[in-house]
Amino acid sequence: MEHHSNSVPWQILCEERVAKLLVVPITDEGELQLDEYEKLLSPRTKIVSVVHVSNTLGTINPVQRIVELAHARKIPVLLDGAQAVPHLPIDVQELDCDFYAFSGHKLYGPTGVGVLYGKAKLLEAMPPYQGGGDMISSVSFEKTTYNVIPYKFEAGTPNIAGVIGLGAAIDYVNEIGLESIAAYELELLQYTTEQLQEIPGIRLIGTARERAGATSFVLDGVHPHDIGTILDQEGIALRTGHHCTQPLMDRFGVPATARAALAFYNTKEEIDALVRGIYKVKEMFAS
């Protein structure tokens, strides 16, 4: 269920290091098979990387258990939190993950900026990945001494405006309260699921017990792109396509899905409008 951004970099690394990428299978409901995950962990496993919340299915993965199983074998864990931070309270110390990453625009901030958290002992052991100003302590032609973390990884002039914008977005979300956001969005998600399941010919893609943020579906006899085009004319915005999760589309045997990405600013009335729009799609294709 991983976004391409949590697959492609590992594939590149595997080519460079002659390593092997192992993938945890998922159930028909869109949940990770933890028993299979545990079987994949071995003395040769160097790192575990998994999405916290699926951008396509909305599945909330049991990341604490995933971290515990990996740490029992002294394997570090990186969590992709891009889809989690807008919907759930996140405590990296409680999760005990080794790395946690998210992008600013998913949290209603600017594009081109994000956050990477890492445990100090791991960051201190890593060399800088980029050279430039601020990542050095001293430089001579004989030797360069690197700066302390986090500056060691912040080469060159940072995206100052983007960081300020992201800070404002974080303040905005914290003012509303992530606990309140999570509770309201869960209510909205349950309502959306109930309403969509009443529509004949619709199939929900991903019905995990723990979900947040996204509802993906397909409609018999109608390509998702056509669903999106017709709903757009009704003033309803959906995402359609493979959502940068092509292997997931292959897993469910569909070329694409239509996805309603829910957030705290949505309402039940908008879900009702979505349902009416889908019925209009069905009428147009029936004729």
Chain Cα centroid distance, residue 110: 17
Distance CA 1, CA 249 (A): 9
Q: Known catalytic residue: 97?
A: no
Distance CA 149, CA 140 (A): 21
Distance CA 160, CA 261 (A): 29
Q: What are phi and psi of 265, to 5 degrees?
A: -90, -5
Q: What are phi and psi of 262, to 5 degrees?
A: -90, 145
From the list 244, 254, 273, 275, the catalytic residue is: 244
Distance CA 206, CA 249 (A): 11
CB atoms within 10 A of CB 106: 19
Distance CA 248, CA 252 (A): 6
The strands making up 48-51's β-sheet, listed across from edge to edge, are: 48-51, 77-80, 99-103, 114-118
Phi-psi region of 98 (alpha: psi -120 to 50; beta: other; left: phi over 0): alpha
Nearest Cα residue to 283 out of 244, 234, 238, 235: 234
C-alpha angle with apex 156: 150 to 162, nearest 5 degrees?
80
At 99, which helix (H) or strand (E)? strand 99-103
Residues known to be catalytic: 244
